[in-house]
Each structure stands twice: as C-alpha cells, then as structure tokens.
Chains A and B, each alone.
Chain A
C-alpha cells in the first residue's frame, strides 16, 4: 500500500496526493495527519488534489473527516486544485462537501491560511 507523504511548511502541513487512492491509503492518511497535527502543533492543513482524477464518496468523505478532525485540534483544512470534471462529478454523485474549505490552487490555499507560499517570495 502506498502512503501519502506529509510535508511541513512553517505551521502548515502539506499533503500532495500523487497516487491512485485506494481505501486503506485514505484511512492511513487520516490517521497520519491527526498524529502530525498533534505532534507539530500545525495550524493548517492543505490537501492538494491537482493530480487526482476522481473523487468518489470514500475519498470525498476523507476531506470532510480531515476538515472536522483538524478543527478539533485547532487547525484549519483547505482542499486545493480540484479539477473541473471532478467537481461536476462530485455534485452529481450527491456529495456537496459543504463543510470543506477549498481554494483553486496551492498558492491561494496557502494564502488563505496566512502561510508563506512555497517557491514564491
């Protein structure tokens, strides 16, 4: 099973999903993130799904779970980079993800959290 790496940039944890997500990878990521938030005292989580070509109910639920979980640990989650085809499909599937903050790209997501943008001075 692939494990999704978690990077720490200042007070933000950055998760860039580059693999085909299977359910166990999704569950492992939730646990790893909870652990890292507590250990690092991170104030924000950015999940970059620019490379993700489908979000089904299981993956979508992960975003909602991570968002509520991080809130309980005083960190804010932003999902960035959702592809238009993925957004259209999610709505038709019936998952609105109302409680999840989103931004169009990584830079906007980092700014939303008041964090320095990687590679931009």
Chain B
C-alpha cells in the first residue's frame, strides 16, 4: 500500500518557510494525480500567496490539504486546497489589490491577479486591522 503524503498547516515566518509551502503543495498535487502543468500552476500560485502572507501580512500560516469534489466525475474528483491566513493589516481596497499591476510595495502587482488565474477557485477574505485569508483550490482535470 502506498502512503499518501499528509497535508497540514505550515508556519510562514521566513523565506525558507515559503519554499516549504511550495514543497508541500507540490507533493499533495502530485499525489492527487494532477498533471505536471496543473501542479506547476498551483505551486506557483502558492509561492505568490505565501510571499504576500510573509511580506504584507507580517507572517502567518498556510494549510495545505487534499480535497474531494462533492459529486465526483469519474477519475477527476481530487484537488488541492490551500488556505493562507495572517493577522496583518488587511487590505483596504480589495478591487485595487486584485487589479493587475497594483502594488503598495516594490512589486509588480502580479501576485494576486496572477495566482487567481492559475487556480480554479479563489477567495479573498480581508478586513483592515484584522488580517487576510486567501483560499485557493485546484482540481484534477
């Protein structure tokens, strides 16, 4: 019997932690049977969002888990979900933050809109002064 890699919650407190989030996302996506291109997309989105959690959120966590579709089509029911949470400053204007090219730091403003394009489901929950939670899901095709 082959052992599936376990999901879990990882801290995001350093740039090395961002790499660990990428690695866990990769192993779960591969175990779920995702194509190489889709694995690369979810891992790249994870990298962008974990960096945002670290740089703008002041650190936080990433919960990486395998999910199953409620009403599965044959052979295409597995997916990977990642929840990034921080107790940072929050995002005052969500539409602006999701717009291509908008950055409050020295970035390119690509992370949020780019990550959104790379996944199947994207949810941004934020409140100024309270923190930010971004949830992304990618399904096997």
Closest Cβ of chain A: how far from B33's Cβ, in Å?
15
Question: In B1-58, which residues have CB < 8 Å from any A CB?
Answer: 15-16, 18-19, 22-23, 26, 36-37, 39-41, 43-44, 47-48, 51
Cβ A94 vs Cβ B40 within 8 A: no
A94: B residues at CB distance < 8 A:
100, 110, 113-114, 117
Cβ A54 vs Cβ B22 within 8 A: yes
A1: B residues at CB distance < 8 A:
16
Cβ B118 vs Cβ A93 within 8 A: yes
Cβ B37 vs Cβ A89 within 8 A: yes
Cβ A22 vs Cβ B117 within 8 A: no
**A-B contacts, 25 listed (Cβ < 8 Å):** A20-B22, A20-B23, A21-B19, A23-B18, A23-B51, A53-B40, A53-B43, A54-B40, A56-B47, A56-B51, A57-B107, A83-B40, A84-B37, A85-B39, A88-B37, A89-B40, A89-B118, A92-B114, A92-B117, A92-B118, A93-B114, A93-B115, A93-B118, A94-B100, A94-B110
Number of interface residues of B (CB under 8 A): 27
Q: Which of B19, B26, B110 contacts A93 (CB 8 A)?
A: B110
A24: B residues at CB distance < 8 A:
15
- Nearest to B111 among chain A residues (CB) is A57
A20: B residues at CB distance < 8 A:
19, 22-23
- Other than the given A1-B16, A93-B118, 17 more pairs (CB < 8 A) read A20-B19, A22-B15, A24-B15, A57-B48, A57-B108, A57-B114, A85-B36, A85-B40, A88-B37, A88-B40, A93-B48, A93-B110, A93-B114, A94-B100, A94-B110, A95-B110, A95-B114
- Nearest to A24 among chain B residues (CB) is B15
Closest Cβ of chain B: how far from A20's Cβ, in Å?
5
B110: A residues at CB distance < 8 A:
57, 93-95
Closest Cβ of chain B: how far from A49's Cβ, in Å?
13
* A4–B115 alpha-carbon span in the complex (Å): 27
Q: Which of B15, B40, B100 has the most C-beta atoms of chain A within 10 angstroms of its own C-beta? A: B40
A57: B residues at CB distance < 8 A:
48, 107-108, 110-111, 114
Cβ A54 vs Cβ B37 within 8 A: no
